[in-house]
Amino acid sequence: MQPTEKPVLKELTPNPTLPTLFVDAVDINARTDGSMLVRLSCSLPEARQELGRFLMNASTVKAVIDLLCRVTNYYPTPPTATLVKEKP
């Protein structure tokens, strides 16, 4: 394989030992090295519990967001800019 060629990905093999998680919150934090920390959590009566943590590069996070938009047929618009009053 040439250095510029991307490897061909095989079909995803399911791992039956992984539990299926119910996630109702996603937090994404950008890091200074260009990667992003994605945290999944759920709300329980006693507290909010972290379920998983993933470190991904920004392009992978954007691809996940694009996939979610296509699957849900929901394409959010950028927030409108709010004016911040400057102090004199």
Per-domain residue ranges of the chain: 25-72
Q: pLDDT band for position 78 (50/70/90)?
A: confident
pTM exceeds 0.75, yes or no: no
CA–CA dist 78, 51 (Å, integer): 28
- Mean pLDDT along residues 16-33: 94
Looking at per-residue pLDDT, the higher value among 49 and 1 belongs to: 49
Question: What is the per-residue pLDDT for 73?
Answer: 97
Query: How far apart, in whole angstroms, are the C-alpha atoms of residue 40 and residue 53?
Result: 6
Mean pLDDT of the chain: 87
Can you tell me the mean pLDDT for 9-37? 92
For residue 17, the 8-state DSSP code is: T
pLDDT in tens, 33-63: 999 999 999 999 999 999 999 999 999 999 9
